[in-house]
A and B are shown apart, each in its own frame.
Chain A
């Protein structure tokens, strides 16, 4: 007797839960690896998965087994030249030819390497990060429809049949329809009993026929009838979706060299990935500026070269204009500005004031990333000094500095760290 079962259509991710457990356990190792990856990667690969290495000794499962040392004998196959009593020098690194029991342990790899999927990668990437003041999310006018349960209906497809509810209905109907007949039966039975007791055969026969008729009527009440059927009902309910717009402001003046631009791009890429995880809909506005600002598309923003002086305020004004024209209401506004802070004259002060008066009140969060060259002195730029006063007020403004690739991710994490509850 044999049962043949085709299991191929079954779920394949049986080990997914165990895999996830494993990842959680070695989180610190993995986070370390992810941090490294952000620095090493090309921008385009930022979203992909990646390889993680964990030292084997950190994840061993201990048990009582034998260590080295002591006396033992072991049997090996394939003897060619040895005779009893021969001496063989101990192989280096112990075990050597090894006996059967140690066979599996001779793994030379001392690191456990595995790859993360994109989803896992992102999960770890943005773990513990939060968009500030997300609770006050503005909901847009557009809606997404969501199916929710809404009681029971009398019509529906068989798959949605609510069996218990249907049977309850059927029971109620049977009781309602059959109650009178049941009482009638009882009365007739009693009368019949009296009639037979007194020996009135004619009366008994009539009663019997009547009883028979009533019982047949009772039997005719269907066990389950069409009106009993109840179906689980679902309705579509519109749900507002959270939308965000992200303004990317980058200084592309001559003082921003390739290195700094690369840092800025990395920062924007992270911010974008992060926003897409938090909002259903994210729109991007790229603004680059030298002495005047212009809106451009993503490709131009990241790849096109341009140079000139620096007027930060122009970019802020443009951003505010676009915001009030296109994203006046129903949008959560985020803005990130990257610059080397090389602004002159009245520009820094004007920018700061503009920011305080116009942009900040409308934005959820405004981050300023100042890119400094690694060898630069610690002296703060003019823009930094002005902005610092904004930051002191606190609220929706945050600023950080970065000078190397590997700082971008930590800086990003700091800007968006989940506030301790």
Chain B
């Protein structure tokens, strides 16, 4: 077959033809995707999109303005390039392509975003569980309108104050486990009727004559609330804050919903980017095999691809953390290798997948893991060697850092475990939960930070408590506990 096009120029017709070709290859590999909506935008619009965390619609807030100005300055001074693309987890899946891209880049981006990310959004369990791709755009539109209406009615400052406060608690505004669905009115009535019937069946007048232990009733009255510590602080505020106005509650809810929407993304960065990168690489190579793209295309593509998956060493100037594209791409590629050409080491480490069908294995991995478990499950010794990964221990009792383990037989498992932990949300975000709401007393709220291994909260914690105090309206206390012993109060704000 002859190549679809030559040269760097693109037009809408070409994009469509490339998309058809890519869709066909993706179909051959069995990628399951939402329909695609490709939007061509300018670099200015890309900056706009950046500021709103990539969302197409957002409510007005100064922090987005700050983000916009920051990006704009960085871009204008040439300190930062723009992403080729932004993709939104929605149905249809919206991908923004920049008009400055060459045809090759557009094709790369289509394969990456419209088939890679898209299939990940549709398949990965976290996204399936936590985000409603069908409704997100509508919800954003609602949120924007609601916030603006509130501003009109209650003044921009009042709205800003609530949103500021809610933003400060965004990391602690997500559900990590599904809440049981609220009972419908009918189910609730049925439940009450059943309980009533049960009481009638069990009725025995004798119980009335049994003396009641007065002390015992008192303790039940003073039962602490909430019964269990609550980790979703925003949810608790939304439901129980004694002072919030209804519209303020709704604002808190909007911020919480957004936090929840981004929750899967933060936990699947390596997997998501790795998956998309793996597929653009695989798909475009397949196009080349089929003769649909020419060698010039491939050279340009490989150059971009190499830049994307470049991992500088820790002591390099360019080092800025582990590159999720590099790690993810390497892991998925390695997984395919383990399936297709397993070595003795692979057979020992991954007996269940070595030599299996790579498509089934990759699909399973994409669907059922998040970064933490994905790394813990699939990072192979070969990759640890290739990346020269090593673990550093930073302990407060020692004056120097210590090399904990490196890429050797003793170290593989340890490095893998530590790297997995490094990607765990539970470890990246401090454990702060609501332990007590003094409903019958001064209505104060007590939060408990459970400190592990002596890692304290940062200085901004006091500012967060101030924000929380604003939302709560009554005294708020933040305690730090370690090993079941209270260390100190980080902050306490009286009414």
Contacts and interface: CB of A to CB of B under 8 A. Distances in A.
Given A4-B12, A18-B61, A75-B391, A100 B321 contact: yes
A245 to B, nearest CB: 38
A226 interface: no
Contacts of B455: 66-67, 69-72
A63 interface: yes
B45 A99 contact: no
Given A18-B65, A70-B456, A76-B390, A64 B430 contact: yes
Given A5-B40, A87-B401, A79 B321 contact: no
Nearest to B458: A67
Given A5-B37, A62-B464, A79-B390, A74 B422 contact: yes
- Report, nearest first, the 8 A-B pairs whose CB atoms are least far apart: A78-B313, A70-B455, A103-B321, A22-B65, A18-B65, A62-B460, A67-B458, A70-B454
A22 to B, nearest CB: 3
Interface stretch (B165-173, B209-217, B277-285): B165-173
A79 to B, nearest CB: 4
A3 B37 contact: yes
Contact of B388 (A6, A17, A77): A77
Interface residues of B, number: 99
Interface of A: 1-8, 10, 12, 14-15, 17-25, 59-80, 82-90, 97-104, 112-115
Interface in B460-488: 460-461, 463-464, 467
A60 B63 CA distance: 9
Nearest to B69: A114
B420 to A, nearest CB: 9
Contacts, number: 266
Contact of A10 (B16, B45, B404, B410): B45
Contact of B390 (A4, A10, A82, A87): A82
Contacts of B203: none
B396 A75 contact: no
Contact of A62 (B65, B160, B388, B463): B463
B257 to A, nearest CB: 18
A78 B37 contact: no
A64 B41 contact: no
A68 B454 CA distance: 10
Identify which of A71, A83, A90, A104 gathers the most chain B CB atoms within 10 Å of its CB.
A71
B38 A4 contact: yes
Contacts of B415: 75
A100 B16 CA distance: 39
B391 A74 contact: yes
B470 to A, nearest CB: 12
Given A20-B65, A76-B389, A67 B169 contact: no
A73 B394 contact: yes
A85 B410 CA distance: 12
9 contacts: A1-B35, A15-B51, A18-B63, A23-B65, A24-B62, A25-B160, A70-B455, A72-B393, A80-B388
A399 to B, nearest CB: 37
A90 B399 contact: yes
Interface string B295-325: 0000000000000000111111001111000
Nearest to A9: B42
A73 B96 CA distance: 38
A48 to B, nearest CB: 17
Contacts of B467: 62
B92 interface: yes
Given A85-B402, A87-B402, A97-B315, A71 B66 contact: no
Given A77-B313, A89-B400, A99-B422, A84 B406 contact: yes
Given A2-B38, A64-B429, A75-B391, A70 B396 contact: yes
Q: Is the interface of A mostly helix, strand, loop or mixed?
A: mixed
Given A2-B36, A7-B41, A71-B455, 18 more contacts: A2-B114, A3-B38, A4-B12, A5-B38, A14-B45, A18-B60, A18-B64, A19-B68, A21-B60, A61-B164, A61-B167, A65-B429, A67-B455, A67-B457, A73-B392, A78-B387, A85-B403, A98-B321
A88 B456 contact: no
Contacts of A21: 60-62, 64-65, 156, 160
B37 A2 contact: yes
B421 to A, nearest CB: 8
A21 B51 CA distance: 13
Contacts of B114: 2
B379 to A, nearest CB: 10
Given A22-B66, A62-B464, A76-B314, A69 B454 contact: yes
B28 interface: no
Contacts of B493: none
A84 B70 contact: no
Contacts of B73: 113-115
B363 interface: no
Contacts of A62: 168, 460-461, 463-464, 467
Interface in B230-274: none
Contacts of A90: 394, 399-401
Nearest to B323: A77
Contacts of B319: 78, 97, 103
Contact of B321 (A7, A66, A101): A101
A189 to B, nearest CB: 50
B354 interface: no
B388 A63 contact: no
A349 B452 CA distance: 82
Contact of B460 (A60, A70, A100): A60
A78 B389 CA distance: 6
B45 to A, nearest CB: 6
B300 to A, nearest CB: 22
B85 interface: no
Contacts of B395: 71
Contact of A64 (B37, B40, B63, B457): B457
Given A77-B388, A101-B321, A88 B314 contact: no
Contact of B168 (A22, A63, A86): A63
Contacts of A100: 321-322, 422
B218 interface: no
Given A15-B48, A15-B64, A62-B464, A73 B314 contact: no
